[in-house]
Amino acid sequence: MDNTPILELRNVVKDFTTGGGFAKSDLFRALNDVSFSIHKGKALALVGESGCGKSTCARLITKIYEPTQGQILFRGKDIADIKGRQEVLNYRKSVQMIFQDPFGSLNPTHTIYHHLARPLLLHRMCENDKTKLRDRVHELLEMVELPALTAEKFPHELSGGQRQRVNMAKTLAVGADLVLADEPTSMLDVSIRIGVLDLMQRMKKEFNLGFLYITHDLATAHYIAEETAVMYQGQIVEWGDTTEVINNPQHPYTQLLISAVPDPDVRFADVVKGDEDYSSHAQHIRNLSSAKVNQIKRVNQNHYVRLLAG
Amino acid sequence: MSELSSTRPLLQVRDLEVDYLTSDGAFQAVKKVSFDIAAGEVFGLAGESGCGKSTIAFAVTRLHKPPALISGGEIIFDGTDVVKLTEHQLRDFRWTQIAMVFQSAMNSLNPVLRLEEQFCDVIMTHSNMTRVEAIKRAEQLLDIVKIPRERLRDYPHQFSGGMRQRLVIAICLALNAKLIVMDEPTTALDVVVQREILQQIYHLKEEFGFSILFITHDLSLMTQFCDRIGVMYQGELVEVNESQQIRHHPQHPYTQKLWSAFPSIHEGRKHYQPAADFTPELIQL
Q: A299 CB near a chain B CB, below 8 Å?
A: yes
- Please give the pLDDT value at position B92: 84
pLDDT at B36 over 60: yes
pLDDT band at B227 (very low <50, low <70, confident <90, very high): very high
Q: A297 CB near a chain B CB, below 8 Å?
A: yes
Residue A15 within any structural domain of the chain: yes
Beta bridge partners of A18: A26
Q: For a pLDDT cut of 90, what percent of chain A falls above it? A: 58
Give the DSSP H or E segment for A254.
helix A252-260
pLDDT band at B18 (very low <50, low <70, confident <90, very high): very high
Please state the domain count of chain A. Answer: 1
From the list B197, B229, B234, the residue with the least C-alpha distance to B216 is: B229
Q: How many residues does chain A have?
A: 310
Q: With CB atoms and an 8 Å threshold, state whether B192 touches A49.
A: yes
CATH no. for residue A254? Answer: 3.40.50.300
A249 vs B284 pLDDT, higher one: A249
pLDDT band at B7 (very low <50, low <70, confident <90, very high): low
In angstroms, the Cα distances linking A45 to A243, A246, B282 are 12, 12, 26
B43 vs B284 pLDDT, higher one: B43
**pLDDT tens-digit map of B49-63:** 778 888 899 899 888
Give Cα B27 to chain centroid, integer Å: 25
* pTM of the shown model: 0.86
Q: With CB atoms and an 8 Å threshold, state whether A272 touches B199.
A: yes
**pLDDT tens-digit map of B103-126:** 776 678 899 999 999 999 989 988
pLDDT band at A179 (very low <50, low <70, confident <90, very high): very high
Residue A1 within any structural domain of the chain: no
List chain A residues with CB under 8 Å of B264: 219, 263-264
pLDDT at B3 over 50: no
Q: A20 CB near a chain B CB, below 8 Å?
A: no
Q: How far apart are CA A257 and CA A253, in angstroms?
A: 6
Q: What is the mean pLDDT of residues A170-174?
A: 91
Q: Which range has the worst mean pLDDT, A33-42, A70-79, A121-130, B257-266?
A: B257-266
Q: With CB atoms and an 8 Å threshold, state whether B281 touches A308.
A: yes
Q: With CB atoms and an 8 Å threshold, state whether B194 touches A264.
A: no
Of A222, A258, A264, the CB nearest to B223: A264
pLDDT band at B5 (very low <50, low <70, confident <90, very high): very low
Q: A265 CB near a chain B CB, below 8 Å?
A: yes
Q: With CB atoms and an 8 Å threshold, state whether A194 touches B263.
A: yes
**CA dihedral (A12, A235, B270, B193) positive or negative:** negative
Q: Which class would CATH give B3-97+178-270?
A: alpha beta
List chain B residues with CB under 8 Å of A198: none
Q: Which of residues 117-176 of B touch A (CB under 8 A)?
A: 146
Mean pLDDT of chain A: 90
**CA dihedral (B249, B255, B261, B266) positive or negative:** negative
Q: Is the peptide bond before B263 cis (omega within 30 degrees of 0)?
A: no
Q: B277 CB near a chain A CB, below 8 Å?
A: no
Q: How far apart are CA A201 and CA A219, in angstroms?
A: 15
Q: With CB atoms and an 8 Å threshold, state whether B263 touches A269.
A: no
Q: Report the 10 Å Cβ neighbour count for B222.
A: 23
Size of the A and B interface in Cβ pairs below 8 Å: 142
Q: B187 CB near a chain A CB, below 8 Å?
A: no
- Please give the pLDDT value at position B2: 43
pLDDT at A20 over 80: no
Q: With CB atoms and an 8 Å threshold, state whether B272 touches A247.
A: yes
Q: Give the chain B residue nearest A261 (alpha carbons).
A: B191
ipTM for the predicted complex: 0.82
Give the DSSP H or E segment for A74.
strand A69-74
Residue A85 within any structural domain of the chain: yes
- Please give the pLDDT value at position B23: 86
Range of the domain at A163: 7-306
Residue A252 within any structural domain of the chain: yes
- Please give the pLDDT value at position B284: 63
Using DSSP's 3-state secondary structure scheme, residue B227 falls into coil
Of A50, A268, A306, the CB nearest to B280: A306
Q: Is the peptide bond before B67 cis (omega within 30 degrees of 0)?
A: yes
Q: How far apart are CA A88 and CA A94, in angstroms?
A: 10
Q: What is the mean pLDDT of residues A275-292?
A: 88
From the list B80, B85, B78, B63, the residue with the least C-alpha distance to B18 is: B63
Of B195, B247, B280, the CB nearest to A308: B280
pLDDT band at B162 (very low <50, low <70, confident <90, very high): confident
Q: How far apart are CA B64 and CA A233, in angstroms?
A: 41
**pLDDT tens-digit map of A211-236:** 999 998 888 899 999 999 999 999 99
Residue A11 within any structural domain of the chain: yes
B277 vs A300 pLDDT, higher one: A300
**pLDDT tens-digit map of A74-118:** 999 999 999 888 999 899 999 999 988 888 889 999 999 999 999
**pLDDT tens-digit map of A239-258:** 999 999 999 999 999 999 99
Residue of A247, A267, A300 for testing the chain B interface, max B β-carbons within 10 Å:
A247
Q: With CB atoms and an 8 Å threshold, state whether A220 touches B276.
A: no
- Please give the pLDDT value at position A155: 92
Q: For a pLDDT cut of 70, what percent of chain B falls above it? A: 93
A19: left (phi over 0), alpha (psi -120 to 50) or beta: left
Q: Give the chain A residue nearest B247 (alpha carbons).
A: A264
- Please give the pLDDT value at position B278: 62
Residue A2 within any structural domain of the chain: no
